[in-house]
C-alpha cells in the first residue's frame, strides 16, 4: 500500500439509492476535516459506493501527529512561590496536574500580574491511533433521512452494519462500532461471492472487487452501464431513448452494472409515446428503445449481476411491466371519455393555494395576463392562441394519467389536445407549458407557449410573494427560483421585449384583495429576486459580473435589450479609449455626488480645456442619443470613447471646484450633462478597470 494511504469501507444492508451517495461524500468530508483539525491533512480524497457499501480513501496522510507545546497558566506567583522562591503546595499541585516537575515552572508577567506557567509538551500520536478515534465517531454521526435499530437495540443507523474494513498503510486500524470489529477484509456480492476477501490497499481492493463484477466508483459504473445499455439497444435494432437522470438513478442502485432486455407486447405501442416512456421509467426504472423515431416493443433496465442465464430476471421484469402497462391503458381510456373543456370546467374544485384560490381562478388570471403580454409585444394572433391555451392548459391536472404520472403534467394535456384535433400552435403550447424546467432544457417552440409560460410563472411568483412566502436559504417549497429562471430564459431566448415590471404589476392587480402585502412591497421583493436570476443566466453566457451590473443599472425589465447592452460592454471594454471613459465616469460620479442640478451656460466657460470639452459634448451628444435609440449599443459606447482625450485634458488642466461659485456651478453643470450622455447605455461606474500608469488611464487618475 502507498505510504500515507487510509482505506475505509462500511458494509451494510441495502441503503436506498437516494441516500447513499450523499452519505458517502459526507463521511469522507467528516474524516478529512477531523484529520485537518489535527494537522494530518490528506493530499487526496476518493469516495465510492454501492447500495451495500460506503468507501472512503484518503491519500498521502502524514504518519503521525506533530508534537505540540502548550503553555498553561497556573496560580499567581505570590501564591505559587514562598518568600525564598520555593514552590508552595499550590505550585506542586499545579505541576502535578500538568505532568511536569515543580522546578520546571516559570514566572511570567501578565496584565493581571505575575503568574506561574508550565510548558506542557505533547508527543504526536501515530495516525492509526488517531483514525481509530475519529472514524467510528464519523460513521456513527452521519445524518440520515431515516434510521433504524437492529438486533438488541443496536444503532441507530441507516441499515444494519455487517462489516468494517479499515487500513492505514496496509495495517488494520482497530476499532469497534455497532458490535462489529474492523478488519482487513471485504466481501463480494452477498449471494454470488459472499466469501471474505483479504485486502492490502485501495488499488488491491478495487481490483479484487472488479474481478467479482463489483465497481465502487460511481462514474466508472455509470460509463459501464451506459455502454451496456447502448449495446443492448443496438442488438434490438435501435437506440436507447436518452434519460440522464434515469441513468444516474440506476447507477446508484447497483454494484454490478448489468443490463437486461425485455419485450413489450405490440398492443402497448398504441399508447402515446410519452405514456409508454413514463410508465417504463417511473414504475420500472426502464429505458425505452426507438428506431427512426418510433418506439420498439422492448425495454432495457438494470440487472445487478453480470448475467441472467436462466432468464429469471428478464421474465420477472416483463411480468411487472405488463401489469403496469395494463394500468396505463386503463388510465388512458378513462381520460379520453371526457374532453379537455369538460375537465377545465371542473378546475374550480382544484385548489391552487388556499389563500390564492382555485385553478379555475388562476386560469382566468393567466388568460388576462396573456392578453396584456401580447399587447406589449404586438403579438396579436399569438396572444389569441395563448388565451385558448390558457383556458385548457391546467385541465390535465384532473386526469387519471397525470395523477399516476406527475411527470406528465402538461404533456398529457398537449397529447389530448392533439388527439382532439386542435391546432398545432395550441396543443404544442399546452404540451410545452412547463419548459424549460432545467438549465439545459429548451424553451417552448411557439410564441403562444412563451406567452403562457411567462404569464403562468409570473402569476405564481407574485401570488406567493404576495402572501409573504419569500424563498429563504435552501427553502423554496413553491419552486419560485425555478419559475423566475424560466421567465428570464423564455424572455431572453424568445426575444420577448417585455417590461417585466409592468407584467408583475398587472399580475398583482388581478389578485384583487387576496394578497396580504401591498403592491410596492411585493414589487420591491420581485425586482432583486428577478435580478438574481438574470445575473445567473447571463453569467452562464460568459459575461463578466461587472458587465451585467453596468447594464442592470440602466434597466432590467426588457431582457433582450439588457443582453444587447451587456454584449456591447463585453465587446468594447478592452479598447483603451473605453477604459479611459470608464475611469472618467467614476471620477465624474465622485465629483457630482450629492451635487444639486445646475444650469449649463456656455458664456461662463473660460479655460481652453473646458471649452474643448463643451464643444466635444455638443458634437457627440446627438450621435450618442441616436445610436442608443436605435439600439446600436456598441456604436453608442464607441462614440463615447471620443470623449477620452478631451476628458483627460479637462481633468489635468481645469479645477472643477473653483473658488468662484458661478464658475464652479457651471463646470458641475457641464459634467452633469456629460454624465447623462455617458449613462445612456450602461452605468459605466460599475465596470471594473485597472488604473494603469500609461496612456489614457494616467491622465484620468491625474
Q: What is the DSSP string of 415-450?
A: HHHHHTT--HHHHHHHHTTT---STTSPPPSSHHHH
β-strands 351-353, 68-76 pairing? unpaired
pLDDT tier at 1, thresholds 50, 70, 90 = low
- Predicted confidence (pLDDT) at residue 293 exceeds the cutoff of 70: yes
β-strands 180-183, 185-187 pairing? unpaired
Tell me what the mean pLDDT of segment 312-341 comes to. 95
Tell me what the mean pLDDT of segment 440-460 comes to. 96
pLDDT (tens digit, 9 = 90+) per residue, 588-623? 998 998 889 989 999 899 899 999 999 998 988 899
- Predicted confidence (pLDDT) at residue 111 exceeds the cutoff of 80: yes
pLDDT (tens digit, 9 = 90+) per residue, 132-154? 999 999 999 999 999 999 999 99
pLDDT (tens digit, 9 = 90+) per residue, 685-700? 999 986 544 433 333 3
pLDDT tier at 475, thresholds 50, 70, 90 = confident
- Predicted confidence (pLDDT) at residue 563 exceeds the cutoff of 90: yes
DSSP 603: G
Q: Judge contact between 299 and 287, C-beta under 8 A.
A: yes
- Predicted confidence (pLDDT) at residue 467 exceeds the cutoff of 90: yes
Tell me what the mean pLDDT of segment 222-249 comes to. 96
- Predicted confidence (pLDDT) at residue 413 exceeds the cutoff of 60: yes
DSSP 472: B
CA distance 566 to 585: 18
CA distance 173 to 443: 55
Tell me what the mean pLDDT of segment 43-56 comes to. 96
**Which residue, among 127, 126, 137, has the nearest Cα to 30 in the 3D structure?**
137
| Residue 699 neighbours by CB under 8 Å, 6+ apart | 580, 648, 649, 651, 652
- Predicted confidence (pLDDT) at residue 121 exceeds the cutoff of 90: no
- Predicted confidence (pLDDT) at residue 508 exceeds the cutoff of 60: yes
Q: Judge contact between 333 and 327, C-beta under 8 A.
A: no
Q: Which is higher by pLDDT, 224 or 192?
A: 224
CA distance 21 to 41: 23
The pTM for the full model equals: 0.80
Helix 661-678 with 608-629: angle, nearest 10 deg: 30
pLDDT at 699: 33
pLDDT at 84: 84
Counting Cα atoms < 13 Å in the Cβ hemisphere of 280 gives 30
CA distance 128 to 3: 13
pLDDT at 424: 96
Domain 342-540 falls in which CATH fold?
A: Hypothetical protein af1432 (1.10.3210)
CA distance 307 to 317: 14
Percent of the chain's residues with pLDDT above 90: 76
CA distance 390 to 368: 9
Tell me what the mean pLDDT of segment 437-466 comes to. 94
Percent of the chain's residues with pLDDT above 70: 98
Domain 559-701 -> CATH class: mainly alpha
pLDDT (tens digit, 9 = 90+) per residue, 355-409? 999 999 999 999 999 999 999 999 999 999 999 999 999 999 999 999 999 999 9
Q: What is the DSSP string of 624-684?
A: HHHHHHTT-HHHHHHHHGGGHHHHHHHHHH--SS-SSHHHHHHHHHHHHHHHHHHTTT--G
Amino acid at each position: 500500500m502507498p505510504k500515507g494511504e487510509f482505506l475505509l469501507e462500511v458494509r451494510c444492508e441495502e441503503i436506498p439509492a437516494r441516500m447513499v451517495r450523499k452519505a458517502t461524500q459526507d463521511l469522507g468530508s467528516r474524516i478529512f476535516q477531523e484529520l485537518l483539525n489535527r494537522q494530518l491533512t490528506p493530499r487526496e480524497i476518493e469516495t465510492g459506493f454501492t447500495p451495500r457499501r460506503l468507501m472512503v480513501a484518503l491519500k498521502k496522510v502524514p504518519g503521525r501527529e506533530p508534537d505540540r507545546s502548550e503553555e498553561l497558566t497556573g496560580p499567581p506567583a505570590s501564591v505559587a512561590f514562598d518568600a525564598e522562591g520555593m514552590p508552595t503546595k499550590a505550585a506542586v499541585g499545579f505541576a502535578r496536574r500538568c505532568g511536569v516537575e515543580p522546578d520546571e515552572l516559570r514566572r511570567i508577567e501578565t496584565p493581571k500580574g505575575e503568574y506561574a506557567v508550565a510548558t506542557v509538551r505533547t508527543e504526536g500520536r501515530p495516525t492509526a491511533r488517531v483514525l481509530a478515534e475519529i472514524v467510528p465517531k464519523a460513521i456513527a454521526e452521519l445524518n440520515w433521512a431515516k434510521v433504524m435499530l437492529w438486533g438488541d437495540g443496536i444503532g441507530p443507523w441507516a441499515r444494519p452494519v455487517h462489516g468494517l474494513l479499515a487500513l492505514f498503510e496496509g495495517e488494520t486500524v482497530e476499532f469497534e462500532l455497532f458490535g462489529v470489529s474492523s478488519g482487513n477484509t471485504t466481501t463480494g456480492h452477498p449471494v454470488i461471492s459472499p466469501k471474505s476477501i483479504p485486502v492490502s490497499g485501495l488499488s488491491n481492493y478495487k481490483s479484487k472487487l472488479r474481478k467479482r463484477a463489483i465497481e465502487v466508483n460511481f462514474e466508472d459504473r455509470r460509463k459501464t452501464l451506459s455502454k451496456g445499455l447502448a449495446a443492448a439497444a443496438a442488438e434490438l435494432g435501435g437506440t436507447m431513448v436518452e434519460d440522464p437522470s434515469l441513468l444516474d438513478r440506476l447507477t446508484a442502485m447497483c454494484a454490478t452494472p448489468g443490463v437486461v432486455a425485455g419485450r413489450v407486447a405490440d398492443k402497448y405501442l398504441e399508447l402515446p409515446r410519452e405514456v409508454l416512456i413514463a410508465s417504463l421509467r417511473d414504475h420500472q426504472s426502464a429505458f425505452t428503445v426507438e428506431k427512426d423515431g418510433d418506439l420498439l416493443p422492448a425495454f432495457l433496465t438494470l440487472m445487478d449481476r453480470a448475467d441472467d442465464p436462466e432468464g429469471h430476471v428478464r421474465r420477472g421484469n416483463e411480468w411487472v411491466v405488463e401489469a403496469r402497462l395494463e394500468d396505463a391503458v386503463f388510465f388512458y381510456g378513462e381520460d379520453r371519455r371526457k374532453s379537455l373543456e369538460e375537465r377545465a370546467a371542473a378546475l374550480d374544485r382544484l385548489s391552487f393555494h388556499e389563500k390564492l384560490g382555485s385553478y379555475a381562478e388562476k386560469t382566468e388570471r393567466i388568460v388576462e395576463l396573456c392578453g396584456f403580454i401580447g399587447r406589449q409585444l404586438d403579438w396579436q394572433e399569438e396572444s389569441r392562441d395563448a388565451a385558448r391555451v390558457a383556458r385548457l392548459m391546467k385541465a390535465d391536472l384532473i386526469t387519471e394519467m397525470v395523477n399516476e404520472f406527475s411527470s406528465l403534467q402538461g404533456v398529457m394535456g398537449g397529447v389530448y389536445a392533439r388527439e382532439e384535433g386542435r391546432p398545432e400552435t395550441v396543443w404544442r403550447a399546452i404540451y410545452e407549458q412547463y419548459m424549460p424546467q432545467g438549465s439545459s432544457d429548451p424553451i417552448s417552440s411557439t410564441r403562444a407557449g412563451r406567452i403562457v409560460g411567462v404569464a403562468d410563472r409570473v402569476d405564481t411568483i407574485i401570488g406567493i410573494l404576495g402572501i409573504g412566502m419569500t424563498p429563504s436559504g435552501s427553502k423554496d417549497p413553491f419552486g419560485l427560483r425555478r419559475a423566475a429562471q424560466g421567465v428570464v430564459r423564455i424572455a431572453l431566448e424568445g426575444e420577448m421585449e417585455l417590461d417585466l415590471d409592468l407584467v408583475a404589476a398587472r399580475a398583482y392587480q388581478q389578485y384583487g384583495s387576496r394578497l396580504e402585502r401591498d403592491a410596492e412591497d411585493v414589487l420591491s421583493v420581485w425586482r432583486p429576486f428577478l435580478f438574481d436570476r438574470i445575473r445567473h443566466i447571463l453569467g452562464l453566457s460568459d459575461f463578466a459580473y461587472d458587465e451585467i451590473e453596468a447594464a442592470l443599472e440602466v434597466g432590467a425589465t426588457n431582457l433582450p435589450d439588457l443582453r444587447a447592452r451587456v454584449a456591447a460592454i463585453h465587446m468594447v471594454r478592452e479598447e483603451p479609449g473605453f477604459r479611459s471613459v470608464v475611469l472618467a465616469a467614476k471620477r465624474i460620479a465622485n465629483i457630482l455626488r450629492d451635487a444639486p442640478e445646475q444650469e449649463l451656460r456656455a458664456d461662463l466657460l473660460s479655460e481652453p480645456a473646458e471649452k474643448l470639452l463643451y464643444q466635444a459634448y455638443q458634437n457627440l451628444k446627438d450621435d450618442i442619443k441616436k445610436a442608443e435609440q436605435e439600439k446600436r449599443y456598441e456604436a453608442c459606447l464607441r462614440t463615447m470613447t471620443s470623449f477620452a482625450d478631451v476628458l483627460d485634458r479637462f481633468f489635468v488642466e481645469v479645477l472643477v471646484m473653483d473658488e468662484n461659485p458661478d464658475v464652479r456651478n457651471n463646470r458641475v453643470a457641464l459634467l452633469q450633462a456629460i454624465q447623462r450622455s455617458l449613462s445612456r447605455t450602461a452605468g459605466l461606474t460599475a465596470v471594473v478597470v485597472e488604473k494603469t500608469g500609461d496612456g489614457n488611464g494616467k491622465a484620468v487618475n491625474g
